[in-house]
Structure 1
Amino acid sequence: MKKLSRVFLLSILVMILAAGSSSIAMENIIFDTDMGNDCDDAGALAVLHALADKGEANILACMMWKMRKDEPVVGPAATIDAINTYYGRPDIPIGIGKKEIYFAGAKNYTNFLPKEFPNDTIDKKIDDIPDAIDLYRKILAAQPDKSVTIVAVGPLTSIKYLLASKPDTYSPLTGRELVEKKVKLLSLMGGKFPEGNEFNLGCDLGGGIAAALEWPGRVVWSGLEIGSAITTGPSRVKIPAESPLHAAYKPYGGQRQSWDLTSVLVAVRGPADYWDLSDTPGYFCVVPAPEKGVPGYPSHWESKSTTRDQTYLKLKKPAAEVTAAIDALLAQKPASPAAASSNAANVILDTSLNTADEAGALAMLHAMADKGEVNLLGCIYPGRSNAPLAAIDAINTYHGRPDLPVAMVVKGGWINPSEIAKSIATSFPQDLKTDDTMPDSIVIYRKLLAVQPDKSVTIICTGWQNSLAALLSTKGDDISPLTGRELVAQKVKLLSIAGGQYPTGSDFIYNKERDLNAALCVSVAWPTRVVYTGVEVGKQITAGAALASSGDVKDPVKKFFASQKAAPYGGIGMVATLYGVRGAQAFWDDTTTGALYIQPCSGEIQWMTDLKRDQAYLKVKKSPGEMEKILNDLMCQPPSKK
């Protein structure tokens, strides 16, 4: 009897486990998009990641079929990669269509989003990215039969080329045979039902006809009317401040109709309680004769008996309920964001906080920390003055990092603070104790550096270099047996300095009373890579106007800009900061060779090409307008930890 009971209980346990395993089956998804033509593509990919975080989807690959006719750029693919990276999936394969091209949308966020968020694609060339059809065939061939769902939310160019593809090293099957064997569902955003015009089909008539007439399996169409009834986006729901969705939706006012998002939701969850499926037998028919003045091609549902397995969505529940479900997915924080921030730069900011430019640089670091690009280790003030140090703490507190280490050169000369720094220190929350217990900058520098991995720290200096020189002169102690110069050589990979004029000039002269000796010491004795940002670069940057006129009295940096509308050297500190974190990108050339020579009597500078040190200065490659937008967006980004 006991044996029978055990067998019975075991059988019940097996049934329970089997039921449990079937309830968490994931949909294998290939996402096919025209990223950049509208922000709902970015929203759809975000929803797909949120569903993957819930265990409902497995993202196999992302495809896109769009390049500009005037310049073959990788911005759309890099935007996909940036969103994937933000959600902790930086290694999702991305394919790009290369056989046909058409113009991007007028509000194309792919021009700037991938330059603001971490990704591995922005510096690649088109030829470095896999061909979409090759990647389609490779991915499909490796999947179990009838296990893949394709979500196509752009023009259906890839669909027609996939169907027309020939046998290759990945599979002996034709494209149509491979699709029939491996794909269980094609979820499309396209058309209007029961009839009308729509953008995606207007971009590629052949793709629409291929999907409607040649696809050998199940097709679910989400028409224009479905997404038009559902408005979602960052301005409607609290999405994490570090999410790239803010950048994608910003040109559209922070919200948009959810055309592409509905195709993702139905592909993963099915119609559920949200939609009904059309029960009229038939198929989608595209009429190859565009109406004058109407975008797209006219189309309708052909109500005829057919063997084609096609249907279209009809809204079942109130649009508000579907909107709430999508908004909740958009607001969902990444379950595994570590991969997105694993390459975060370890940064120490050395700032005199004497200008709005320097305040903006600190705000930018906080914004990039919120994005997962920066691990801000601490802030150093290169002199002895209580008010600027307290103002630094006030800015850190405003951005949700009140416990960041801050320090000043206790044994340095007293520096008269600016009036705005004194005002920030007294009118914003901060808890810094500027008394005899305040640690010296060299102590904090040594403590911060000693515990970091080798060659992992970037120091950004936007002000005087006194604390850097003091660090180099330190001896071994109980923090580290290494001298200051040895410690820097072991731990620091880059020193990004705002200062000078290159290759020579008189607009920037080191002050003998303030920091000439320190700058001399750093230029000669610093043992690792140094990149200088000169005033000739900084004066081209006028970022900060939006902060100066915002009237936001709660943001200390905006108050700084309102008080000090123009910094004497423009955006020199902001540029040095952006370079310190993101590198040269497409904006600058940092390949100059030689080293800085400072005339020890006058403080004038000259770039000496015959000196052999690991030093460079930035040279502008692009118009500053695009970079100014990046700087402004970072400074205006709301704190995520406030």
Structure 2
Amino acid sequence: MKILKYILFATFVCVFCSCGDKKEAKQEPVAVIFDTDVGNDIDDVLALQMLFNYEKEGKINLLGITIGKNNPYSIRYVDGYCKLNGRGDIPLGFAYNGVNPEDNKYLRPALDTVIDGKKILQPQRSISDSLPEGYKLLRKLLASQKDASVVFIAVGPETNLARLLGSQSDEYSDLDGKALVAKKVKLLSVMGGLYGDEFDFPEWNIVQDLKAARKVFSEWPTEIVASGWELGNKLLYPHQSILDDFKSDHPLSVSYKIYEKMPYDRQTWDLTSVLQAIEPDKGYFSLSPKGTIVIDSIGKSVFTAKEDGKHRYMLIEKDSVDFTLKAIVNQVAGKK
């Protein structure tokens, strides 16, 4: 009888431990690389805040950030924002000789803003610190990761991504760029393009570096999930969250208020790509059938359904808008 009890107890312990191991495995942080053009639109800052909150929750490991906007103040802004969130050590890369050199609206004003005798952003790195080329940093980061483990989120012109695909073997890997991506990347979640029949024009991110966009969509070897302009246009970030969830001296709040005259609710284009990439199983969005996305000569995104295709684009039903928008706001604001 004692032997039987011992066997039953041992079996229970083994099953319990096995379940615990499985649960622990599921909680392993997702390795994430973020490519952004901070400074062109305010949604990049909101998306960046989402990622830092995901990291604080232990859901992701933000490996590095590459900047696709060729403006030195983008480096200072991103670096200061990283430092604000306790990640002043995060690797940064820059698209030298890239696109969009313009200051636009909030970069310099936010960096120059002083409240209570202190600048709200206190960057340590600048263009003079010889940051690595974006594609070189990407090669370094990818080479050190497990196979098929990295989730890549790109929310601006695809300059850094195209340069990565065209790169050759180096000190970080014997593989060329395309082979390195195929080996190390699990998914590319990209904000770019326009899908469906509601609108018909070349999307902004795509046309900023059209050659790069065409290369990425034609040559990227892993699965791509695209968030089109029409999706973020249906999900407007409520300005009341900026007023209620952030202190008036927070760089996100300051930058948001500089970008446009308050009150305004901004489209969540970049935020949708972050949400889908990190929490794909929560039902916030649905996906198109598998297929291929081709960028034509003027920048329009043409989707063709194919059973063996590696591309999908994101969709949302009207009755899911409130549910998904709430999730976005909670993640930006760091609410449980």
Q: TM-score if structure 1 supplies the norm length?
A: 0.47
- Please tell me the root mean square deviation across aligned C-alpha atoms, in Å: 2.0
Higher mean alpha-carbon deviation, 322-331 vs 96-105, is at 96-105
Q: Offset at 1:13?
A: 2.0
| Counterpart-to-counterpart distance in 1, 2:134 and 2:234 | 32
1:191 aligns to 2:197 (yes or no): no
The structure with the greater share of residues assigned to helix is 2
User: Where does 1:582-601 land on structure 2 (aligned, <5 Å)?
Assistant: none
For 1:178-257, list aligned pairs within 5 A: 178-194=180-196, 196=200, 197-232=202-237, 234-237=239-242, 238-241=244-247, 242-250=249-257, 251-252=259-260, 253=262, 255-257=265-267
SS at match of 1:318: helix
Measured in 1, the distance between the counterparts of 2:314 and 2:84 equals 31
- Return the alpha-carbon distance in structure 2 between the equivalents of residues 94 and 285 of structure 1: 30
**Residue 53 of structure 2: aligned partner:** 50
Residue pairs, 1:445-460, within 5 angstroms: none
1:249/1:256 contact within 8 Å kept: no
Letter in 2 for 1:139: L
Partner of 1:315: 316
Name the larger-Rg structure. Answer: 1
2:161 maps to 1:159: yes
User: Relative to structure 1, is the Cα distance of residues 4 and 306 closer, same or farther in structure 2, using a 3 angstrom cutoff?
Assistant: closer
Contact 1:144 1:182 in 2 (8 A): yes
1:51-200 superposed matches below 5 A: 51-68=54-71, 74-104=72-102, 106-107=104-105, 109-115=106-112, 116-121=119-124, 124-126=126-128, 128-194=130-196, 196=200, 197-200=202-205
**Match for 2:302 among 300, 303, 308?**
300
Find the aligned partners of 1:7 and 1:271 in 2 and give their Cα distance. 35
Q: Given that residues 153 and 260 in structure 1 are in contact (C-alpha distance below 8 angstroms), is that contact kept between their aligned partners in structure 2?
A: yes
Change beyond 3 A, Cα 1:14–1:61: same
- 2:231–2:269 Cα contact (<8 Å) kept: yes
1:3 correspondence with 2:6: yes
Structure 2: distance between partners of 1:271 and 1:9: 30
Are the counterparts in 2 of residues 156 and 208 from structure 1 also a CA contact under 8 Å? yes
One-letter code aligned to 2:35: D
CA distance in 2, matches of 1:201, 1:97: 16
Tell whether the 8 Å contact from 2:39 to 2:104 is kept in structure 1 after alignment: no
| Deviation sequence 1:155-177 (CA, Å, 0-9, x none) | 01111100000000000000000
Q: What count of residue pairs does the alignment treat as equivalent?
A: 318
Query: Residue 274 of structure 2 corresponds to which residue in structure 1?
Result: 264
Check conservation: 2:73, 2:103, Cα contact below 8 A: no
Counterpart secondary structure, 2:34: strand
Structure 2 distance, partners of 1:42, 1:228, is 17
Tell me which amino acid in the other structure corresponds to 1:287: D
Counterparts in 2 of 1:234 and 1:51: CA distance versus 1, 3 Å: farther
Amino acid at match of 2:208: C
Give 1:271 deviation, angstroms: 5.0
What is the identity, as a one-letter code, of the residue corresponding to 1:53?
K
Contact 2:151 2:186 in 1 (8 A): yes
**1:5-57: CA deviation from partner (whole Å, max 9, x where unpaired):** 33212212212312321331221110000000000000000011111122211
Where do 5+ consecutive residues of structure 2 fail to align? 113-118
In the aligned structure 2, how far is the partner of 1:119 from the partner of 1:138? 27
Q: How does 1:167-566 map to 2 (within 5 A)?
A: 167-194=169-196, 196=200, 197-232=202-237, 234-237=239-242, 238-241=244-247, 242-250=249-257, 251-252=259-260, 253=262, 255-270=265-280, 272-279=282-289, 281-289=290-298, 297-303=299-305, 305=306, 307-316=308-317, 317-332=319-334
**Structure 1 stretches lacking a partner, 5+ long:** 69-73, 290-296, 336-642
Following superposition, the deviation at residue 85 of structure 1 comes to: 1.8
Q: Is the 8 A contact 2:29 2:59 kept in 1?
A: yes
The verdict on how the C-alpha distance between 1:101 and 1:236 changes in structure 2, with shifts beyond 3 A counting, is: same
Contact kept? 2:294, 2:302, Cα under 8 Å: yes
In 2, are the aligned partners of 1:86 and 1:243 still within 8 Å (CA)? Answer: no
Counterpart CA distance in 2 for 1:272 and 1:125 is: 39
Deviation at 1:306, TM superposition (A): 6.4
Match of 1:507 in 2: none
Looking at structure 1, the residues matched to 241 and 160 of structure 2 have their Cα atoms a distance apart, in angstroms, of 33
* TM-score (normalised: structure 2): 0.88
In the alignment, the residues of structure 2 paired with residue 120 and residue 91 of structure 1 have an alpha-carbon distance, to the nearest angstrom, of 11
Contact 1:79 1:114 in 2 (8 A): yes
Q: What's the CA shift for 1:182?
A: 0.2
Letter in structure 1 aligned against 2:167? S
Alpha-carbon distance in 2 for matches of 1:218, 1:236: 34
The alpha carbon displacement at 1:274 in A equals: 1.2
Between the two proteins, what is the percent identity of the paired residues?
Answer: 31
Q: What is the CA–CA distance in structure 1 between the aligned matches of 2:333 and 2:191, rounded to whole Å? A: 22
Match of 1:14 among 12, 17, 28: 17
Letter of the structure 2 residue corresponding to residue 193 of structure 1: Y
